Structure 1
């Protein structure tokens, strides 16, 4: 009988005695020899948890099961394979449908009978219940900590440092926390983010500021001396069981200022911004210099308004130097791009891309297998094995991501016909019709400004550096 040896250890379990990869492999190889089984292959998921089945060698093993390449899956313990009942049922059905047996070297499981399958499911259900029980106890422990005015968590928010488990005010950052709250009375989130970026202030993680980070800061009651816990689920959705208590840490701002900022946010939200842009190219334009989106705007003139586009990276975050440019110049450049673009429309040569990526993917997987062989043969140490295998797995994940997200082939003749039709009726369209037309065919356009007009007689010059069709 041909055996597939599956071993797994999570990052947290790597130091635990009896769970190491080498220890599992040795035990399983001895067991296979005692049963007079041949070893087909080793499937090793080093550093992966069993929270789901999405593991590199688990996926490879499932593929081999479907191709009937071995007869039995051998593991050290059931929890090396799965931890959830639903995943166990999925694997048991896969085993049964492909005439593959399952065996644990340390537990009495027999998947060849209905009673055996029931027993293994029962054991998995009990294990899952215990894990959920543990999670509930941890949750209750954190709740108790909050109710005692202690903040859970090991990372200090901007404005504080964590010293011996206690929040201590970081005086330099606290100055900017106060400035953010005070500025919020008269400025928006983007303007505040731009102010912080211009001053060279970084977030706690060393990143530039964005409006979403400013929003998180001004909504955090920790700055007025309160502790909020269980406000959102891991999915980001709000819970109905938020707890807010008085904290033991020193506040940076007053409760009155915090409440005032919350009221300002509610008032601004109540103004009912509809988010319907009247600018035809909004949503598809990107800056060729910094990659940020371009937004439309207008300014009053004697005979009406002039419309223009500008880089959000420059206006909101002070991270770019792209000058703003008139909409009519963009329209002209867009129409000149049709129907025979000067810069080729990026209609992905999908077949060639996929072929190259797949070849590279196979090459990397062969390298991973070779590294595993060297490790099993004792040619490389565990530290070298972990370093090498992680590098190659990262490469494999990146290529898999590219394969999963590669654009589908586009019918070039169909696109060209649509572009020609748009060009012929463009001048008769209103703004909403132009926007619908642009968004029906354009996925993204990158724009650079080559020359900015100095006088009214001059014209700015822009370039469409990249044109991606839908």
Structure 2
């Protein structure tokens, strides 16, 4: 019986380039290797511009799908690290290929998994490939931190007022080095100066925001200025002509400043965010890297410090905005005049040192009465009206139970359960990788190789312990959430028969109860009209 050999060539390169091991060169070398074998058909999969740190690549995923459909019985690549630089990912792939009876060939490393020795060499090479990637990553990160500490611009979106420009300087050893510094853009510098001047005039970020909107002054990306972006400009030390007083101020915030200040150059800050780029989670300021940079500041030290003082003062006395421990309708109340969500703002204290709270249209709060002129609503009064309306509703128990079941289903399909699923998948993949490594341990007697494989097995086991801890924590949280839902369920069953139940609940229990049966509430502060939209029922 004649066996037809069908081969798949996989090629990958992190950057789009013709230099080095280009995509086309990888394919060419693989074709030359296959020319010595009895191959009848060749399929080519190319991922250009994708890293080897994981396997989330379009052509790679397509190749896996074709492998499962038995489209080919041999996979070849130029180098092992073109497939993956991650041992766990590679072990999982090797196991899948073995189960599908697909042999794997690496042209550069010269091994074929159709033999036991070839399989052993493949795992050893994958370990060194990951070690190389992690070493390079660590070296690059250390170099970036070193550049940051010396005040050099590391790239990314430049702050308003500046552009990046590459320059050449000699290092202490006399070697020419190139790096980027910030260079002022006159028209953007004028905007920064205007923002500081207007803040000192208005002493309010919201008023500065409205001024910029009315004057049609845009950001670097041609968007309207927001209170967050204005606040970022006012607090960013990149703009200050830093001196000793500025350094002392930043020290009180937990920052350590690298370099010497000279009352001329600004300060760059790095390493502020947790996780991946763009994350909103902020690290403690003591972990930031803050360095005197090569660019000239825009704002004088005295003006910048004066702004910081006003910002701190406003923050201390500003009314809280957002959710409230007492307000019951946060997240479900909208302004009926313009349809925008409503937020909570506090007023003066009354009675037992309590504060009045109001529901405020977010559109009016941000842009002023020119966009929405609906009056603010007394929160305590509106909450009482909603509770009385709910007491009078003639909802039957079947409707309530049905809505609560929907509510529980939403919780069960929440992000936390998606995270739990991913953690369990990672656990299974790690266990599969451990099994593969142990299976190949018996194929070698080399002491160094044995140590290396056992070290990797121990590393994966430690990762599994951490994963199991996270899984246990999420499972406990799910149990606690179920207890809360059961409590809300019981309260709701009492609602139709015991009108006074709501009176004896805590604000948190009242809020959960209301949100479990109410879809949206629309309120008009001017007319006093209130519309309650229940899940499936509407009433005034």
TM class, shorter-length: 0.5 to 0.7
Say whether residues 1:220 and 2:223 are aligned partners.
no
Instruction: Say which one has the larger Rg.
Output: 2
Say whether residues 1:74 and 2:76 are aligned partners.
yes
Indicate the residue corresponding to 1:175 in structure 2: 193
SS at match of 2:104: strand
- The answer on whether the counterparts of 2:151 and 2:293 sit within 8 Å (CA) in structure 1 is yes
SS at match of 2:510: helix
Say whether residues 1:310 and 2:328 are aligned partners.
no
1:315-369 Cα deviation digits (max 9, x unpaired): 135596383564256667877988499xx98979x9xxxxxxxxxxxxxxxxxxx
With over 3 angstroms needed to count, the CA separation of the structure-2 counterparts of 1:466 and 1:19, relative to structure 1, is: farther
Say whether residues 1:19 and 2:31 are aligned partners.
no
With over 3 angstroms needed to count, the CA separation of the structure-2 counterparts of 1:66 and 1:140, relative to structure 1, is: same
- The answer on whether the counterparts of 2:150 and 2:292 sit within 8 Å (CA) in structure 1 is no
CA distance in structure 1 between the aligned counterparts of 2:68 and 2:365, rounded to whole angstroms: 55
Indicate the residue corresponding to 2:271 in structure 1: 231
- The answer on whether the counterparts of 2:323 and 2:344 sit within 8 Å (CA) in structure 1 is no
With over 3 angstroms needed to count, the CA separation of the structure-2 counterparts of 1:8 and 1:145, relative to structure 1, is: closer
Indicate the residue corresponding to 1:50 in structure 2: 52
Superposed counterparts of 1:42-191, under 5 Å = 42-65=44-67, 70-113=72-115, 115-139=117-141, 141-143=143-145, 145-146=147-148, 148-153=150-155, 155-162=157-164, 165-168=181-184, 169=186, 170-179=188-197, 182=200, 186-187=203-204
- Residue 123 of structure 1: how far off its partner (Å): 3.5
TM-score, normalised via structure 1 length: 0.63
- The answer on whether the counterparts of 1:147 and 1:245 sit within 8 Å (CA) in structure 2 is yes
Say whether residues 1:281 and 2:326 are aligned partners.
no
1:17-36 Cα deviation digits (max 9, x unpaired): 6523x665565456445422
With over 3 angstroms needed to count, the CA separation of the structure-2 counterparts of 1:52 and 1:180, relative to structure 1, is: farther
SS at match of 2:295: coil
Q: Single out whichever of 223-232 and 295-304 deviates more from structure 2.
A: 295-304
SS at match of 1:246: strand
CA distance in structure 2 between the aligned counterparts of 1:48 and 1:338, rounded to whole angstroms: 60
CA distance in structure 2 between the aligned counterparts of 1:284 and 1:62, rounded to whole angstroms: 46
Indicate the residue corresponding to 1:437 in structure 2: 513
Superposed counterparts of 1:301-450, under 5 Å = 308-316=358-366, 321=372, 323-324=374-375, 326=377, 327=382, 339=395, 421-422=494-495, 424-425=499-500, 428=503, 431-440=507-516, 445=519
Q: Single out whichever of 214-223 and 129-138 deviates more from structure 2.
A: 129-138
With over 3 angstroms needed to count, the CA separation of the structure-2 counterparts of 1:105 and 1:311, relative to structure 1, is: farther
Indicate the residue corresponding to 1:247 in structure 2: 293
Indicate the residue corresponding to 1:355 in structure 2: none
Indicate the residue corresponding to 1:392 in structure 2: none
- Residue 421 of structure 1: how far off its partner (Å): 4.8
RMSD: 5.0
CA distance in structure 1 between the aligned counterparts of 2:113 and 2:87, rounded to whole angstroms: 15
- Residue 279 of structure 1: how far off its partner (Å): 1.0
CA distance in structure 1 between the aligned counterparts of 2:61 and 2:491, rounded to whole angstroms: 43
- The answer on whether the counterparts of 1:3 and 1:72 sit within 8 Å (CA) in structure 2 is yes
- The answer on whether the counterparts of 1:330 and 1:462 sit within 8 Å (CA) in structure 2 is no
Indicate the residue corresponding to 1:4 in structure 2: 8
Indicate the residue corresponding to 2:425 in structure 1: none
- The answer on whether the counterparts of 2:148 and 2:270 sit within 8 Å (CA) in structure 1 is no
